Structure 1
Amino acid sequence: MARAANDKTVLGSVWLREEPERTRAPLSREDIVETAIKVLDRDGLEQLSMRRMAVELGTAATSALYWRIANKNDLLELAVDAVIGGALVETDEGDWRDQLTALAQAAYGVLADHPWAPQLLASHAGLGPNYQAYTERVLGVLNSAGFKGVHLDAAVSAVIHYVVGAAVTDAAWTATVRRSALTERDWPTAAGDQLGVEPDTLAAYLSRDDLAGPAARFQSGLRAILIGLRPRQLR
Structure 2
Amino acid sequence: MPREADEKTALGSVWLRTEPAPTRAPLERQDIVRTALEILDRDGLQQLSMRRLATELGTAATSALYWRVATKNDLLELAVDEVFGEALVPAEDGDWRDQLGTLAQAAYGAFARHPWAPQLLASHAGLGPNYQAYAERMVAILAAAGFKGVHLDAAVSAVFHYVVGAAVTDAAWIATVRRSGLAENAWAEAAGDQLGVGAGALTSYLSREDAAGPEARFAAGLRVILVGLRPRRLS
Provide the TM-score with structure 1 as the length reference.
Answer: 0.96
Which residue is 2:52 aligned to? 52
CA contact (8 A) 1:25 1:64 kept: yes
Residue 68 of structure 1 aligns to a residue whose secondary structure is coil
The answer to which of 59-68 and 182-191 deviates more is: 59-68
Show the 5 A alignment for 1:154-169: 154-169=154-169
Alpha-carbon distance between aligned partners in 2 of 1:33 and 1:185, rounded to the nearest angstrom? 33
Q: Say whether the 8 Å CA contact 2:50–2:62 is kept in structure 1.
A: no
CA RMSD of aligned residues (A): 1.2
1:202 aligned onto 2:193? no
| Unaligned residue ranges in structure 1 (runs of 5+) | none
User: Aligned residue for 2:171?
Assistant: 171
> 1:97-154 CA deviation, whole Å, 9 max, x = no partner?
0000100000000000000001100222311110010000000000000001110000
Cα deviation for residue 86 of structure 1 reads 0.4
CA distance in 2, matches of 1:16, 1:234: 34
Rounded Cα–Cα distance in structure 1 between residues aligned with 2:204 and 2:7? 49
Superposition deviation, residue 60 in structure 1: 4.9
- Range 14-23 or range 219-228, more displaced: 14-23
Quote the sequence identity (%).
Answer: 74
Alpha-carbon distance between aligned partners in 2 of 1:206 and 1:138, rounded to the nearest angstrom: 29
Quote how far apart the aligned CAs of 1:63 are.
3.8
Aligned to 2:85: 85
Cα distance in 2 for partners of 1:90, 1:59 equals: 38
Find the residue that maps to 1:191 and give its secondary structure. helix
d(CA) in 2 for partners of 1:23 and 1:92?
A: 42
The equivalent of 1:127 in structure 2 is 127
Q: Which runs of 4+ in 1 moved over 2 A?
A: 59-64
What residue is the counterpart of 1:97 in the other structure?
97
Paired letter, 2:64: A
Q: Distance in 1 between matches of 2:234 and 2:86?
A: 33
Distance 2:135 2:64 in 1: 32
CA distance in 2, matches of 1:209, 1:26: 43
Task: Note the residue ranges of structure 2 that are not aligned, 5 or more in a row.
Answer: none
Kept in 2: contact 1:93–1:99 (CA 8 A): yes
Q: Name the counterpart of 1:212.
A: 212
Contact 2:188 2:203 in 1 (8 A): yes
- Equivalent residues in 2 for 1:100-115, closer than 5 Å: 100-115=100-115
Rounded Cα–Cα distance in structure 1 between residues aligned with 2:210 and 2:51: 39
C-alpha deviations, 1:70-108, integer Å up to 9, x for none?
111110000010111000011111000000010000000
SS in 1 for 2:8: coil
Alignment check: 8 A CA contact 1:149 1:233 kept: no
Q: What letter is aligned with 1:170?
A: D
| Residue 14 (1) aligns with residue 11 (2) | no
Contact 1:41 1:114 in 2 (8 A): yes
Secondary structure in 2 aligned to 1:215? Answer: helix
CA distance in 2, matches of 1:217, 1:20: 44
Question: 3-state DSSP class of the match of 1:38?
Answer: helix
Hey, what's the Cα distance between the residues in 2 that align with 1:134 and 1:205?
A: 29
User: CA separation in 1, counterparts of 2:88 and 2:64?
Assistant: 30
- In 1, the alpha carbon distance for the partners of 2:207 and 2:233 equals 40
Residue 26 of structure 2 is aligned to residue 29 of structure 1: no
Cα distance in structure 1, aligned partners of 2:61 and 2:150: 49
Question: How far has the Cα of 1:62 moved from its partner?
Answer: 3.8
Q: By how many angstroms is 1:233 displaced?
A: 3.1
